[in-house]
Chains A and B, each alone.
Chain A
Amino acid sequence: MSNQATPTHDNAHTTFDTKPIWRTFWVLLGITLVELALATIHLKTGFPPKYVLNGVYLILTCAKAFYIIAEFMHLGHELKNLVMTLALPACLFIWFIIAFVSDGNSYRELRNRYDPYHVQQNNTKVAPAGGEEAPSTPAQKPGEQ
């Protein structure tokens, strides 16, 4: 038993070259620039609708996360068993995100239905100067943003 010995994959050590590192760097930089370009285009023209953009952002973010984990953290080059002990528990995030975000959405809908004061607050404009409690203008019709 030689648990304290260094791992046996010395051949993997010698193949650790710097080329994929730079490729990963350019991929990450490229994705970030695409995200910024989309955000800027949306700010100027309002064209890609926000909900479409949000989906695109989430996909691109997951792509970046994959590249960081697989290449920078070198997990893509480890044994599949090790990868699975990390990837399978991480699948809990799928449930975690869906359950909690939809719970938030349901709470918002319930409150809008049963709490008129809450709806009125949301339709009351404040002065954009910020910080100060502005004299509230008459509430707008519900449904109007």
Chain B
Amino acid sequence: MAQAIPAGTKWWSGGKSPFNVEYGKLMMWYFLMSDAFTFGAFLISYGTIRMSSNSWPDPNEAFRAFPGMGSMHLPLVFVSLMTFILIMSSVTMVLAVAAGHAGDRKKVTFYMILTIIGGLAFLSCQAWEWTHLHGEGAWWGRNPFPNINGSKASTNFSNFFFTITGFHGFHVFSGVCINIIMLIKNLRGDFERRGHYLMIEKAGLYWHFVDLVWVFVFTCFYLL
């Protein structure tokens, strides 16, 4: 798995990067770790509150709608589509990084455009879902969904849902902005002049992190 190192390499003797990665990429990793703790704190507080409640709304009742299908009962379908879109855009992002390694500027452009489209598609899905839930009466401080045992639920359910998916959605939004900037820089030929596409890799790390967080949000809100 890990990188093969020639025997006798002295990483800590100075003169070279001991982790063998570029400074910006290393710092991106540490930023992502701190961000993981932010998201972790959100999700764990959600878990704590849910654990301290006797009953909780059924996600299959709350998230059962699909655009254009009226009031049909379709639990999990829409969120599966959103998950698929985000995984797909993560794949196109890696393909852009791979194209960057090969120094293929045209392919980088192509895959960056696909990634941006995927991100925008995800954001549109989320906007639709929020609008739908708001139409049903859910918002911060308002929760129309009863608990699974039929008793009246507190507003914790919608508070956590909107806060955490909102924070994640904001990450997706900033990821799309970063990707657009990278696309513009690539179109201007900045990376080609520089001789490497490390900026694409760093944007890619951020983008995959957004996908990673969604995996946990998906499990915590829609499956558990």
Residues of A within 8 A of B (CB): 1-4, 6-9, 12-14, 16-18, 21-22, 25, 28-29, 32, 35-36, 39-40, 43, 53-54, 57-58, 61, 64-65, 68-83, 85-86, 89-90, 92-93, 96-97, 100-105, 107-108, 111-112, 118-119, 121-126, 128, 130-131, 133-134, 145
Known A54-B224, A65-B212, A101-B48: A6·B198 in contact at CB below 8 Å: yes
Closest B residue, CB atoms, query A69: B212
Closest A residue, CB atoms, query B50: A104
Which of B75-83, B123-131, B162-170 is the interface stretch? B75-83
A126 to B205, CA, bound (A): 47
A43 to B23, CA, bound (A): 49
Minimum C-beta distance from A104 to chain B (A): 3
- In the complex, whether B174 has a CB less than 8 A from a CB of chain A is no
A25 to B144, CA, bound (A): 37
Query: Which residues of chain B have C-beta atoms less than 8 A from A107's C-beta?
Result: 52
Inter-chain contact A14/B101, CB cutoff 8 Å: yes
Inter-chain contact A122/B20, CB cutoff 8 Å: no
The B interface, classified by DSSP as helix, strand, loop or mixed, is helix
Minimum C-beta distance from B79 to chain A (A): 9
Residues of B within 8 A of A (CB): 1-3, 5, 11, 14-23, 26, 29-30, 33, 36-37, 40-41, 44-45, 47-55, 60, 75-76, 80, 83-84, 87-88, 90-91, 93-95, 97-98, 101-102, 136-137, 144-147, 149-152, 195-196, 198, 201, 204-205, 208-209, 211-212, 215-216, 218-219, 223-224
For this complex, 16 residue pairs linking A to B, each with C-beta atoms less than 8 Å apart, are: A1-B15, A12-B3, A16-B102, A21-B98, A29-B84, A32-B84, A43-B60, A58-B219, A65-B215, A68-B215, A75-B29, A79-B2, A79-B5, A101-B48, A104-B50, A121-B152
Known A68-B211, A104-B49: A126·B150 in contact at CB below 8 Å: yes
Minimum C-beta distance from A131 to chain B (A): 4
Inter-chain contact B3/A78, CB cutoff 8 Å: yes
